[in-house]
């Protein structure tokens, strides 16, 4: 197809579904969307073989040629935005509007363009009368990319765009929960790419495990749970794969006593509830100073009440269902346990479940202990525990008390005070008066149990390359 020919939803769906395979259902309605292909280990081997054969030719192209190809791919994504967004909405559950489906598709195009425009890393590192040393970044080879179900198109783009820019080829294994979205993105991207440079292989978890140990996969990028990340690190050791692991988080936010609660309520809400709370770097536990605790809780309740939740194809909704029943059960179980422990539900916590979808109401839980499972475990859904503190050192200790470190935030009217607290937090990114925002030129990655390796900007290009020093 012509890369700039807009695809309709029906046409795109027909390109990525089969008559048999894994049945995919809309989490908002339970309706059948279609059947996703389920590929085999031999299909992975074939994809890697073709990627290995295509990689030297792709790497031999000039950087400008690869840049122009990425820009053409961005044009293709933009041309089919509505079809991609509708499929994403139906399969993942996120609404069309708000920071959701159209937003995610737009981010795919934006990241392709930003990656194309990022200056290549490297250059002269030392020079004197006898030595001229240059550092260059060469393609690593074949990149295996294993993505999650919460932001399936956007995170796949985060993995694919820098890999292609640096001359690698990519084999993508999407989540079993959202394969159609990634297949659709791959269909559109491949309208602008040479054959076999990018291949999407949907299937069960054994395909991802096979990529992890495959001797012809040189680099693996994974976004998902800490447990799976540990398994990848262990199983990939025999082939010494380079790894980028963006793993689970349980991000803390600390609210200082000088805030105006009405001014931060919107930022707190979207920091916690973007994508209905199903975001690795969402705000998942909030520590509020006792002097402003009641006011912050009240401001959050007032703002949250105004945010409509429902089927994503309804243009008014900005919050959707949980993507799958397993995640729904985790959220419901944690909230029920918090209620049983005596915590106070300010909003939500009582799902109706009369519409056939996996909707869990926006839930705010106050007067909760720091060791409560809703605080200590990553809920990954629309339930925010709000913990009271009186001593800042205590708040910092609680924020740092878990073996995760993806993101964190500090909320204050005094930027200097906020930065001072931020420097004490153990997280890969600490935001001031916001939470979870990412930018294609700002490096992003976790520490502790949240993984290692950086994405975005020049650091992201380095992560999908191998350094070479030419000294002479």
Look at strands 383-389 and 363-366 and give their pairing.
parallel
Three-state SS for 210-229 is HHHHCCCCCEEEEECCHHHH
Cβ atoms 268, 300 nearer than 8 A: yes
Distance CA 154, CA 109 (A): 9
Task: Choose among 255, 55, 89: nearest CA to 167.
Answer: 55
Catalytic status, residue 130: no
Task: Choose among 79, 167, 48: nearest CA to 115.
Answer: 167
Region for residue 196 given its phi and psi (left: phi exceeds 0; alpha: psi -120 to 50; beta: otherwise): left
Beta-bridge partner residues of 235? none
Region for residue 87 given its phi and psi (left: phi exceeds 0; alpha: psi -120 to 50; beta: otherwise): alpha
Catalytic status, residue 280: yes
Cβ atoms 22, 35 nearer than 8 A: yes
Q: What DSSP character marks residue 193?
A: S
Residue 335, token pair as written in the block: 């909230």
- What's CA 104's distance to the chain center, in Å? 10
Distance CA 435, CA 449 (A): 19
Cβ atoms 343, 113 nearer than 8 A: no
Q: Which of 78, 104, 246, 459 is catalytic?
A: 246
Beta-bridge partner residues of 198? 170
Q: Which of 89, 108, 280, 297 is catalytic?
A: 280
Cβ atoms 225, 147 nearer than 8 A: no
> At which residue do the structure tokens 């693996």 appear?
220
> Around 347, how many Cα atoms within 13 Å sit in the side-chain half-sphere?
21
Distance CA 196, CA 61 (A): 15
Look at strands 169-173 and 142-146 and give their pairing.
parallel
Q: How far are the Cα atoms of 37, 221, 315, 354, 405 from residue 183, in angstroms, in the given order? A: 10, 18, 25, 32, 31
Kindly list the strands in the beta sheet with 169-173, ordered across the sheet, starting from the edge strand earlier in the chain: 198-200, 169-173, 142-146, 219-223, 242-246, 451-452
Catalytic positions are 246, 280
């Amino acid at each position: 197809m012509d890369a700039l020919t807009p695809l309709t939803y029906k046409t795109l769906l027909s390109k990525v579904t089969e008559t048999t395979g894994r049945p995919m259902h809309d989490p908002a309605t339970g309706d059948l969307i279609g059947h996703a292909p389920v590929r085999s280990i031999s299909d992975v081997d074939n994809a890697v073989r073709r990627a290995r054969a295509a990689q030297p030719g792709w790497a031999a192209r000039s950087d400008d040629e690869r840049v122009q190809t990425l820009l053409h791919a961005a044009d293709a994504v933009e041309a089919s935005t509505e079809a991609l967004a509708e499929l994403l909405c139906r399969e993942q559950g996120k609404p069309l509007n708000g920071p959701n489906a159209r937003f995610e598709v737009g981010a795919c195009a934006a990241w392709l363009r930003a990656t194309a425009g990022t200056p290549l890393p490297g250059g002269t590192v030392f020079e004197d009368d006898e030595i001229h040393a240059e550092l260059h970044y060469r393609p690593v080879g074949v990149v295996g990319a294993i993505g999650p179900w919460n932001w399936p198109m956007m995170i796949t783009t985060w993995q694919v765009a820098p890999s292609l820019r640096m001359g690698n080829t990519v084999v993508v294994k999407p989540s079993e929960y959202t394969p159609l979205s990634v297949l659709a993105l791959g269909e559109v991207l491949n309208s602008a790419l040479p054959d076999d440079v990018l291949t999407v292989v949907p299937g069960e978890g054994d395909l991802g495990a096979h990529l992890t140990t495959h001797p012809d996969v040189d680099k693996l990028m994974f976004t998902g749970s800490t447990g799976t990340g540990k398994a990848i690190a262990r199983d990939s050791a025999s082939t010494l794969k380079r790894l980028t692991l963006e793993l689970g988080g349980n991000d803390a936010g600390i609210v200082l006593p000088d805030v105006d609660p009405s001014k931060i309520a919107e930022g707190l809400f979207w920091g916690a509830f973007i994508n209905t709370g199903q975001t690795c770097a969402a705000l998942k536990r909030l520590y509020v100073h006792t002097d402003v605790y009641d006011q912050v809780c009240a401001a959050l309740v007032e703002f949250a009440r105004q945010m409509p939740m429902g089927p994503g194809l309804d243009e008014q909704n900005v919050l959707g269902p949980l993507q799958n029943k397993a995640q729904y059960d985790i959220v419901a179980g944690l909230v029920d346990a918090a209620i049983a422990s005596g915590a106070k539900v300010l909003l939500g916590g009582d799902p109706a479940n009369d519409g056939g979808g996996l909707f869990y109401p926006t839930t705010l839980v106050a007067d909760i202990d720091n060791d409560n499972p809703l605080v200590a475990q990553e809920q990954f859904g629309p339930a925010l525990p709000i913990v009271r503190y009186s001593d800042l050192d205590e708040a910092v200790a609680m924020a740092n008390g878990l073996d995760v470190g993806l993101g964190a935030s500090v909320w204050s009217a005094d930027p200097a005070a906020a930065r001072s607290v931020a420097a004490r937090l153990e997280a890969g990114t600490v935001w001031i008066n916001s939470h979870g925002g990412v930018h294609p030129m700002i490096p992003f990655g976790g520490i502790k149990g949240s993984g290692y390796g950086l994405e975005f900007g020049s650091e992201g290009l380095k992560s999908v390359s191998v350094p070479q020093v030419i000294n002479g």
